[in-house]
A and B are shown apart, each in its own frame.
Chain A
Amino acid sequence: MKEPSNNEKRRETNPMNIYADLFLTFAKVGVMTFGGGYAMLPILQREVVDNKGWATEEELMDYFAIGQCTPGVIAVNTATFIGQKNKGVPGGILATLGVVFPSLVIISLLAGVITAFSHLAWVSHAFGGIRVCVCILILNAVVKLLKKAVIDVPTAILFAAVALGSYFTPLSPVVFVVAAGAAGIVLRSLGVGK
């Protein structure tokens, strides 16, 4: 596999090359995304819409919206969509493998290093500080999500019930997800909730 041409306007015509191109382009998106989710939207716009013409701006927004409300990692869901649209099932799989490939390489290299140095005092102090930061990152994420998820009284009750239930019982998150999905359908069919 060779790197696709730098000429951004050139469209790949060789059928083998489009598969390589899907993989490499999404690998590039994977490398350039930090943190996932919304962070990858501008990168997808540039690579997929402007450079490759694989989807329109509107299609990308649709894929992204569906990627958000279907299970799984948003970046992966969006990659599968775009790959599938262009080259069917193999295209969807290759785009997905492309987006996860850089993670696999980078994390494998990094995890080995972290494991080797984790017994050093200064490394464990560093992670002590980092875990405090993680508390705040999660808090900020929850506050942001709350604004979209808790829109009325029933959703506020669901949020509180799941948060407490998950914290104080050993039940698997799967149980809460399935029950909440069912609760949403029941509440709406009873005419409760926005």
Chain B
Amino acid sequence: MMLYLRLFWEFFKTGLFAVGGGMATIPFLYDMADATGWFTRNDVANMIAVGESTPGPIGVNMATYVGFVTGSNMGGPLFAVLGAAVATIGLVTPSIIIILVIASFLNSFRDNKLVDSAFYGLRPASTGLIAAAGLSVVVSNLFFFEGFLSPEIVNWKGWALAVVLWVLTNKVKQTKKLHPILFILASAAAGIVFGM
């Protein structure tokens, strides 16, 4: 019971402070991994991939996934589904409250100077948080810091795949508009073939 309350509270905070959509929830998931131990930082990267490759808004998908994994640590599938529901409802509750309030004075909100000024600061901060989370994903996946005894510290296979993916998603006209799910599937295949 306490765990569910905490799960709700953690996602309520995420929903309240993650500005700028799905990707903005990533830094909060990292913070949650460190603070609660419900899942690892590596799990978060898997969650991002699952959230991107399944139907539904990515932020909601990640909340559902985290809730499911956390709930399943308590017991059977029923606990897991309940955890998924609690996390998702926690995430959307601040949205519902904030939007219902804003809807009542819609036009004054859009033109409000104070709101506009706050977002002048919030947008770069939100981007900075996502960049820091991205750096964590890079460090934990493209380097092997645990393996100092092994001659290999840099994940060369990973870097090679990363460079190919960057070129395909930014430079090649025919592929850069393709849906992320295709790159995720191709990367899974590359991971299996090259043993990553």
Chain A residues close to B by CB (< 8 Å): 30-37, 40, 62, 65-77, 80-81, 84-85, 89, 92-93, 96, 99-100, 102-104, 106-108, 110-112, 114-115, 122, 125-142, 145-146, 148-150, 155-156, 158-167, 170, 172-174, 176-185, 187-189, 193-194
Contacts and interface: CB of A to CB of B under 8 A. Distances in A.
Given A132-B187, A156-B124, A103 B54 contact: yes
Lowest 6 A-B CB distances belong to which pairs? A129-B191, A184-B121, A180-B125, A162-B128, A36-B57, A72-B95
A185 B137 contact: no
Nearest to A92: B100
Interface of B: 13, 15-23, 25-28, 31, 34-35, 42, 45-46, 48-50, 52-61, 64-65, 68-69, 72, 77, 80-81, 84-85, 88, 91-92, 94-96, 98-100, 102-103, 106, 109-110, 113-114, 116-138, 141-142, 158, 161-162, 165-166, 169-170, 179-181, 183-184, 186-192, 194-196
B18 A111 contact: no
A99 B15 contact: no
A102 B55 contact: yes
B60 A185 contact: no
A103 to B, nearest CB: 4
Nearest to B99: A80
Contacts, number: 385
A107 B61 contact: yes
Given A34-B55, A74-B21, A92 B117 contact: no
8 contacts: A33-B55, A93-B96, A130-B49, A131-B46, A133-B183, A179-B125, A180-B126, A181-B125
